[in-house]
Chain A
Amino acid sequence: MWATSYLAMENRKTAEMTFWLLLTVNSITFASLLFLLAAGFSLIFGLMRIPNLMHGSLFMIGGYLGATFLGGMFETISFWVGAAASAIIVAVLGAVLERLLLRRLPGQPLAQVLVTLGISFIVADFCLMVWGGDPLTVPGPESLEGTIAIGPMAFPLYRLAVIAIAAIVAIVLWFLLERTRFGAMIRAGVDDPGMARVVGIRVSLLFTLVFALGAGLAAFAGVMAAPILQVYPGLDQYILPLALVVVILGGSGSLLGAIVGSLVIGFIYNFGQALVPELAYFVLFLPMLLVLLVRPQGLFGRFEI
């Protein structure tokens, strides 16, 4: 059953290359997950100036819904259908929360922080009640099972697919923001909300739609991440700081900022854990600190936090 370990006898140089290659590809995979999450957060924060601290919870609920849909309850459901269903449900949830709660707190960042934080605690407890304390495994799509050879090592096909998915989403979002009227309204709202209202943009409807979009993206990210990270209590608290760092680093309201920020954080997180494990979190937050000191709006941000 257990074959003799070839790696032990193999060329040391090949083993070195495997190390760098594995970590590089994994960094990009992780960056892809972060991008899906951070893009939504960045849009919400950029447009509505709401620091949405329940974004991690939306990610987690998306994962849990994915686990329910894909975990055998509905035997024949396709992975993508399940992911889309999760995204839509959470998007609706996000829209409802925005309309009922956040709408009543315009321009009060502290209140918004506290409300979204409070909701995230409620959601976390709710998930614990419904799905229990054990981590849930979600199977990836069957068509993406197995590994693919990259150089000397085998890499799971699913993780590569995640990179492709994130790239597609990035392109779709870019198109949405740069080439559609809806996107133009969002960009106008990010640049100058007051002026946007004067010009006749229905900002309040825009807010709800963008919040729903951000929430849906977060849930989609949660389902995509589930086969890799599993879904478990505490997932929200694990992923939210990372998304925050991405947005602060890359700049809010900027798609390019979300892409670049995700890549930077993805690499630092993976290589940091491998090379300097005792300092992993320090190394992660240090760039964020530097950026806040030197260029507070982030690398590509439109305004200061």
Chain B
Amino acid sequence: MNDNITRRQLLVGTAALAGASAFPMPSIAQSAPVKLGLLTVKTGPLAQAGIQMEQGVITWLKEHDYKMGGRKVELVSADTGGKPAGAKTKAQALIERDKVDVIVGPLAAFEILAISDYVKEHKVPTLSHAGGDDLTQRTPNPYFLRPSATSSQAMHPMGHYAVTEMGKKRAVTINFDFAFGHEQQGGFQAAFEQGGGCVVNRLYAPLGTPDYTPYLAQMKDCDVVCQGFASSAPVAFMKQYAELGYKFPVVAGETGADDALLPAFGDEALGMMSCSPYTLDLENDSNKRFVAAMLREFNVVPGFNAAGPYVICDVVNAGLEAVAGDTSDRDKLMAALKAVNLKETPRGPISFDQFGNVVGSFYVRRMEKASGNQYGLKLWNRTVKTYNNVGQFWDWPERDFLAKPVYSRDYPPMNKC
């Protein structure tokens, strides 16, 4: 039997094809599963956070029987390695090979900045956990929705709290030297200085550096330290900070005192203040259910890296319900996603501004000794103040905020203190 198609086969095949296309196509698409592409990090210095992301998504899917908007959901997970190049490669694989309908993630700001143009070009709705502030500010991407927070969104209230409620005036900030770190530092500085404080020094450590001593050695002449380390780095940082005898109060964003790290922190972290869009101690039904589910499925305490993607699934679900499960019209789906307004989620009520960035509640917590039955933890982040309806521009008028450059390594500029 030779390999070439015989003329008979060609004629029969063409006839069949013509015949099939004559019939109206049934909407098989609607019973095909919705493909959710998850860009996460499972290796490298950001792995701890990325693994939580996947756990949050799987917890949601298991709770809802792998169904969203009335359709079955198929999850495709990809490990970007926590690098922009890896994010680009995996985004391409998800979009072109796996043909996902929606992308959830990625984790890091520098990753989303690397893939933004690509997802825009391919019109794939991307619900990011990462910051990358400008994507909802000066260079908005119409296929981009950020249900988590901009990098600076939690640092604005933290800076405000540090100067107004803690009465601090001179801060030293320290972050990893990548987009997320720069944007966090910018947000803190802007709010801190608006309240009358001054950032004396800002330090950037290379991502993944294990020894913070060269940076700790430069912390002086201040009355508060603001750290924005991500993934599991805050644990090592606080340990080394205390080991070298530093006693300045420490404030942090949502990653610096993430609830998932509570089992790993030691007593040296007691008293650390942090501001986060999610807090384990939020007393509402959906959060209690979420935490119980995470403990049941994975035996880990969730932090923002799990809660964020969990809420992203809530948003995708609400969006899909609004379009009756139709993922073929991407623009209609994006409009439905942007219009999502949820009164109850594990992080409280959320909605979106016209740029696709979340507006929600932010919680300032203090790390204390756990008292009583708090999931068996020894340390606990207790909410001391809640800021409601916090958007990405804090209390500045939108036009003024956008007229200034995006937060970066050099902006805001350092002032003489």
Residues of A at the B interface (CB closer than 8 Å) are 1-3, 5-8, 12, 15, 18-19, 22-23, 26, 30, 128, 133-135, 137, 147, 153-156, 228-230, 232-235, 238, 270-271, 273-274, 277, 280
Contact = CB atoms under 8 A, between A and B. Distances in A.
22 contacts: A1-B270, A2-B249, A7-B221, A8-B220, A8-B248, A19-B217, A22-B216, A23-B214, A133-B42, A134-B48, A156-B244, A230-B210, A230-B236, A233-B47, A234-B45, A238-B210, A271-B214, A273-B209, A274-B217, A274-B218, A277-B177, A277-B206
Contacts of A238: 208, 210
Nearest to B209: A273
A161 B217 CA distance: 20
B306 to A, nearest CB: 15
A18 B130 CA distance: 38
Contacts of B51: 133
Nearest to A25: B213
Interface residues of B, number: 40
Contacts of B239: 137
A277 B215 CA distance: 10
A69 B116 CA distance: 46
Nearest to B243: A156
Interface of B: 42-45, 47-48, 51, 170, 177, 203-206, 208-211, 213-218, 220-223, 232, 235-236, 239, 243-245, 247-249, 264, 270-271
Contacts of B217: 18-19, 22-23, 26, 274
Interface secondary structure of B, over-half rule: loop
A57 to B, nearest CB: 15
B220 A153 contact: no
B218 A134 contact: no
Given A135-B232, A230-B210, A234-B208, A19 B220 contact: yes
B220 A2 contact: no
Given A228-B211, A277-B177, A134 B232 contact: yes
A5 B247 contact: yes
A276 B211 CA distance: 16
A258 B243 CA distance: 29
Contacts of B213: 22-23, 26, 270
B249 A235 contact: no
A154 B221 CA distance: 17
Contacts of A154: 244-245
A15 B221 CA distance: 8
Contact of B220 (A7, A234, A270): A7
B244 A1 contact: no
Nearest to B169: A8
A22 B212 CA distance: 12
B325 to A, nearest CB: 36
B200 to A, nearest CB: 9
Given A3-B247, A154-B245, A232-B210, A128 B43 contact: yes
B208 A233 contact: no
B206 A280 contact: yes
A134 B170 CA distance: 34
Nearest to B206: A280
A280 B215 CA distance: 13
Contacts of A5: 222-223, 247-248
Contacts of A18: 217, 220
B221 A12 contact: yes
A135 B43 CA distance: 11
Contacts of B223: 5, 8
Contacts of A273: 205-206, 209, 214-215
B208 A229 contact: no
A141 to B, nearest CB: 15
Most-contacted residue by chain A among B48, B211, B215 (CB, 10 A): B211
A133 B214 contact: no
Nearest to B213: A26
B215 A274 contact: yes
Contacts of B235: 135, 137
Contacts of B206: 273, 277, 280
